[in-house]
Structure 1
């Protein structure tokens, strides 16, 4: 059994559970458009179940494919929504333009 390099206090543990709940609520609302009240009930049940079954374990969650993200940025770009894309994907203006550049070179041919 692998030990974590630190021990969380009970308060930190509860803070982490609340943050996980908040993240799940946001994901469920963004991904499937669930109403906030229902998303909250869903998130609370999911966090309770995860804590019971996997509490204390480290879990690896693979990052989303950058290719899928880049394709979504190219698809969603309308010429006037750079700020929105930056916020949505957590990227800099420069990085958004770098992602868009190959698409604009392909269209120019």
Structure 2
């Protein structure tokens, strides 16, 4: 967990947070991961897989029923792909599923 904590602190500092604030946020994030995953073996996807899953989750959060064109432009995806992401989410089978 120390490696994760150190990595998160470093990334937050690169985003402009001071060291103390970065540590506080990173510590809270590590505690949250521990609360959810503690005692279990967990797989974290890497690279394109996790980026795609996070992008799809963000699309779901931003979707308001009338913004397909905007989402398509913002994420450089076809309308068909946006609809597919929405459909997969509605059916509960996120294609790029987050763990």
TM-score, structure 1 as length reference: 0.38
TM-score, structure 2 as length reference: 0.42
Instruction: Tell me: higher relative CO, structure 1 or 2? Use CA pairs within 8 A at least 6 residues apart.
Output: 2
* Structure with greater Cα Rg: 1
